[in-house]
Chain A
């Protein structure tokens, strides 16, 4: 039985929901997390079939004191390491980002995460990629 629940970690999800429309039409549900903290909360509480991850994300921390001095804009990349390393989740992860920094993408690839380029990605292509991961 395929778990058709997708966690989409994306702070601009409200502008990009159309990306998942064909998948939703096929019974997939998409839960959105707009920052790192809420993503981790979702992952602790729910079992997802797939995580779709943006690379540039807010951390979700409040207040100046909680913001790291050496701010890394690629919060999504660090989050992927936490999901795979600290949380030891085996949920497949798919990147979806405008970032094409080769170093960042290579780091993600070490965790078997492919990054699809955000920009001209067709919803039909995203659907195919998701189905390939979940349905083989």
Chain B
């Protein structure tokens, strides 16, 4: 049995417990690495943090029997381990304390010295620093530990577990609803897609007015974009993409790119954004093993983003989107570059931009609607193909007037 908890709530709870009891708390959960506290070192003394970070994690805690008795750790501090049960199952334990006990300070120093001797060969270990930090660790009496209420601790966790469980059930129901709605959208969309293409093909034979043909073509493009948006929503709700379950077939990725480009071309041109013809630098058809519907989702998302986040051009000065395909040591690379709203370095460095639901800081103006669902899905699909995705985004020279960012997304898909 695994306990369900919300990290932020539990960390806050541990910090509050620390304030109330004058003891430091850490929480270890069953089913995870027993020697790593899942929750918060924040309320630990600096001494403990330093030992955890510089020396061996096992020195600190995690090795005591859950007998609710006081034990001195190898670092010389006192802790008590309190197990937590949920429906008669052990689900983890609190490690409480990380304190010196009044009158036993010398024992703590002796234990610290004993432990540090094992690390004498490391020049970066300085006893004086450790001793000084140890002396800063608050001192308590044994009564502090005796006042701990095991039932209260357990009940707090159980209440949080039940809350997290209810939230999870709500989320599952919500996801099911969203998938159902996406499915309900896709049926009428498919009907319109089919009628639109038939209309376009058949009108082309009888109608000479190019405006009418353009209108039919626009309807088809827009409805395809709508279908792709509904599919993205559904795929996002379905979350995990298991690459062992995808149906991989050898095929060229060029028609997929050209098709996506065709669908977005007309809408882009209305904003004076030109999607240039796809440049294929390698000499072959880029035939690789892919799951076609998934790679379509990738390419659609990326070209859609490139159009959506390009600054509009003008009759005099157009904006351009470049799509380049090339081969790079065992991979085919699809590179899409646009000029417009960029992505900040901190969003790229921390992979924030790939988190589901995250929308780039610079994109949050009213004129650009986005769901934040796209890049996370794209990354999962590309990784399911054993590929990779990189993004560069930097402001170009100010002489362009309103400074656009040049954003280049590269998707690498393995040739074999």
Contacts and interface: CB of A to CB of B under 8 A. Distances in A.
Interface of A: 12, 15-16, 18-19, 21-22, 98-103, 105-106, 109, 114, 117-124
6 contacts: A18-B195, A98-B183, A99-B183, A106-B247, A120-B190, A120-B223
B224 interface: yes
Interface in B186-215: 186-191, 193-195, 197-198, 201
B191 A120 contact: no
B224 A120 contact: yes
A18 B193 CA distance: 9
B106 interface: no
Contact of A119 (B190, B198, B242): B190
Contact of B293 (A100, A101, A109): A100
A101 B239 CA distance: 11
Task: Tell me which of B182, B191, B224 has the highest count of chain A C-beta atoms within 10 A of its own C-beta.
Answer: B191
B193 A121 contact: yes
A98 B14 CA distance: 46
A14 to B, nearest CB: 10
B141 interface: no
B245 A122 contact: no
B227 interface: yes
Query: Which 10 interchain pairs have the tightest Cβ spacing?
Result: A120-B227, A102-B245, A18-B194, A119-B186, A119-B227, A98-B186, A18-B195, A19-B194, A98-B183, A120-B224
Contacts of A122: 193-194, 197
B245 A18 contact: no
A124 B293 contact: no
A22 B198 CA distance: 8
A21 B247 contact: no
A18 B189 CA distance: 12
B234 interface: yes
Nearest to A102: B245
B194 A100 contact: no
Nearest to A106: B245
Nearest to A15: B191
Interface residues of B, number: 29
A119 B197 contact: no
A119 B194 contact: no
B231 interface: yes
A16 B194 contact: yes
Contacts of B197: 122-124
A36 B12 CA distance: 55
A105 B235 CA distance: 14
Contact of A117 (B188, B194, B241, B293): B293
A130 to B, nearest CB: 14
Contact of A105 (B182, B189, B247): B247
B186 A21 contact: no
Given A19-B194, A22-B198, A119 B245 contact: no
Contacts of B188: 15
Nearest to B199: A18
A12 B198 contact: no
B295 to A, nearest CB: 12
Contacts of B333: none
B153 interface: no
B66 to A, nearest CB: 40
Contacts of B228: 119-120
B348 interface: no
A120 B247 CA distance: 19
B274 interface: no
Contact of A120 (B195, B231, B242): B231
Contacts of B198: 18, 21-22, 123
Given A118-B190, A119-B190, A120-B224, 11 more contacts: A15-B191, A16-B190, A18-B194, A18-B198, A100-B234, A101-B238, A105-B245, A106-B245, A117-B293, A120-B228, A122-B194
A12 B245 contact: no
A21 B196 CA distance: 12
A32 to B, nearest CB: 15
